[in-house]
Structure 1
Protein backbone atom coordinates (compact mmCIF):
# COMPACT_ATOMS: atom_id res chain seq x y z
CA UNK A 1 0.00 0.00 0.00
CA UNK A 2 2.89 2.35 0.73
CA UNK A 3 4.40 1.58 -2.66
CA UNK A 4 1.15 2.52 -4.41
CA UNK A 5 0.99 5.80 -2.49
CA UNK A 6 4.57 6.68 -3.38
CA UNK A 7 3.97 5.83 -7.05
CA UNK A 8 0.82 7.97 -7.17
CA UNK A 9 2.67 10.87 -5.56
CA UNK A 10 5.47 10.46 -8.09
CA UNK A 11 2.94 10.28 -10.95
CA UNK A 12 1.23 13.52 -9.88
CA UNK A 13 4.46 15.29 -8.89
CA UNK A 14 4.22 17.86 -11.74
CA UNK A 15 0.71 18.79 -10.57
CA UNK A 16 1.86 19.10 -6.96
CA UNK A 17 4.81 21.29 -7.94
CA UNK A 18 2.61 23.48 -10.14
CA UNK A 19 0.10 23.97 -7.34
CA UNK A 20 2.86 24.93 -4.90
CA UNK A 21 4.20 27.47 -7.38
CA UNK A 22 0.81 29.10 -7.86
CA UNK A 23 -0.08 27.93 -11.37
CA UNK A 24 -3.61 27.26 -12.47
CA UNK A 25 -4.20 23.57 -12.05
CA UNK A 26 -6.79 22.87 -14.75
CA UNK A 27 -4.45 22.44 -17.68
CA UNK A 28 -1.59 20.68 -15.99
CA UNK A 29 -3.87 18.28 -14.10
CA UNK A 30 -5.72 17.23 -17.26
CA UNK A 31 -2.47 16.84 -19.18
CA UNK A 32 -1.05 14.81 -16.30
CA UNK A 33 -4.08 12.52 -16.28
CA UNK A 34 -4.02 11.88 -20.03
CA UNK A 35 -0.32 12.09 -20.97
CA UNK A 36 1.50 11.52 -17.70
CA UNK A 37 1.68 7.78 -18.24
CA UNK A 38 4.12 8.30 -21.10
CA UNK A 39 7.64 9.11 -20.07
CA UNK A 40 7.90 12.01 -22.51
CA UNK A 41 4.59 13.48 -21.36
CA UNK A 42 5.55 13.26 -17.69
CA UNK A 43 8.93 14.85 -18.36
CA UNK A 44 7.33 17.65 -20.43
CA UNK A 45 4.84 18.33 -17.64
CA UNK A 46 7.64 18.43 -15.08
CA UNK A 47 9.49 20.97 -17.20
CA UNK A 48 6.29 23.00 -17.60
CA UNK A 49 5.74 23.05 -13.86
CA UNK A 50 9.33 23.94 -13.02
CA UNK A 51 10.35 26.35 -15.78
CA UNK A 52 7.27 28.43 -16.47
CA UNK A 53 7.18 31.55 -14.34
CA UNK A 54 4.44 31.52 -11.76
CA UNK A 55 1.87 34.29 -12.01
CA UNK A 56 2.50 37.28 -9.85
CA UNK A 57 0.12 39.83 -8.53
CA UNK A 58 0.65 43.48 -7.89
CA UNK A 59 -0.03 44.67 -4.40
CA UNK A 60 -1.44 48.14 -4.70
CA UNK A 61 -0.38 50.29 -1.84
CA UNK A 62 -2.19 53.50 -1.05
CA UNK A 63 -0.67 56.67 -2.38
CA UNK A 64 -0.59 59.49 0.11
CA UNK A 65 -0.54 63.03 -1.13
CA UNK A 66 2.58 64.84 -0.05
CA UNK A 67 2.85 68.39 -1.22
CA UNK A 68 6.21 69.45 -2.61
CA UNK A 69 7.33 65.85 -2.99
CA UNK A 70 7.34 65.14 0.74
CA UNK A 71 9.68 67.95 1.72
CA UNK A 72 8.71 69.91 4.78
CA UNK A 73 9.38 73.54 5.21
CA UNK A 74 10.16 74.71 8.74
Structure 2
Protein backbone atom coordinates (compact mmCIF):
# COMPACT_ATOMS: atom_id res chain seq x y z
CA UNK A 1 0.00 0.00 0.00
CA UNK A 2 2.83 2.39 0.84
CA UNK A 3 4.48 1.66 -2.50
CA UNK A 4 1.31 2.75 -4.30
CA UNK A 5 1.20 6.01 -2.38
CA UNK A 6 4.89 6.67 -3.07
CA UNK A 7 4.31 5.94 -6.76
CA UNK A 8 1.40 8.39 -6.94
CA UNK A 9 3.43 11.11 -5.22
CA UNK A 10 6.38 10.50 -7.55
CA UNK A 11 4.05 10.65 -10.57
CA UNK A 12 2.71 14.06 -9.53
CA UNK A 13 6.04 15.60 -8.44
CA UNK A 14 5.98 18.14 -11.33
CA UNK A 15 2.44 19.27 -10.44
CA UNK A 16 3.34 19.52 -6.75
CA UNK A 17 6.43 21.60 -7.53
CA UNK A 18 4.38 23.96 -9.70
CA UNK A 19 1.75 24.31 -6.98
CA UNK A 20 4.29 25.01 -4.22
CA UNK A 21 6.17 27.53 -6.37
CA UNK A 22 2.98 29.35 -7.29
CA UNK A 23 3.58 28.80 -11.00
CA UNK A 24 1.12 30.76 -13.14
CA UNK A 25 0.48 27.64 -15.26
CA UNK A 26 0.08 25.23 -12.33
CA UNK A 27 -3.28 23.89 -13.54
CA UNK A 28 -2.00 23.34 -17.09
CA UNK A 29 1.06 21.58 -15.67
CA UNK A 30 -1.22 19.37 -13.56
CA UNK A 31 -3.38 18.44 -16.56
CA UNK A 32 -0.37 17.74 -18.76
CA UNK A 33 1.17 15.66 -15.98
CA UNK A 34 -2.09 13.75 -15.51
CA UNK A 35 -2.52 12.98 -19.21
CA UNK A 36 1.06 12.54 -20.43
CA UNK A 37 2.97 11.86 -17.22
CA UNK A 38 2.93 8.11 -17.81
CA UNK A 39 5.38 8.62 -20.66
CA UNK A 40 8.92 9.43 -19.64
CA UNK A 41 9.06 12.36 -22.05
CA UNK A 42 5.76 13.78 -20.82
CA UNK A 43 6.89 13.53 -17.21
CA UNK A 44 10.23 15.22 -17.98
CA UNK A 45 8.51 18.00 -19.94
CA UNK A 46 6.18 18.77 -17.05
CA UNK A 47 9.07 18.62 -14.57
CA UNK A 48 11.12 21.11 -16.59
CA UNK A 49 8.05 23.31 -17.10
CA UNK A 50 7.32 23.32 -13.37
CA UNK A 51 10.80 24.55 -12.41
CA UNK A 52 11.05 27.25 -15.05
CA UNK A 53 10.65 30.87 -14.03
CA UNK A 54 7.17 31.73 -12.92
CA UNK A 55 5.63 35.17 -12.81
CA UNK A 56 4.48 35.87 -9.31
CA UNK A 57 1.66 38.33 -9.42
CA UNK A 58 2.11 41.24 -7.09
CA UNK A 59 -0.92 42.99 -5.72
CA UNK A 60 -0.85 46.71 -6.08
CA UNK A 61 -2.48 48.62 -3.26
TM-score by length of 1: 0.72
Unaligned runs of 5+ in 1: 62-74
TM-score by length of 2: 0.85
User: Which structure has the larger Rg?
Assistant: 1
Aligned residues: 60
Deviations 1:34-67 (A, max 9, x none): 100000000011000012x122233546xxxxxx
Q: Which has the higher helix share?
A: 2
Give the superposed CA RMSD: 1.4
Unaligned runs of 5+ in 2: none
Name 1:12's counterpart in structure 2. 12
Name 1:22's counterpart in structure 2. 22
In 2, Cα distance between the equivalents of 1:15 and 1:42? 10
Structure with greater contact order relative to length (CA < 8 Å, sep ≥ 6): 2
Give every structure 1 segment of 4 or more consecutive aligned residues whose post-TM-superposition deviation is greater than 6 Å.
Answer: none
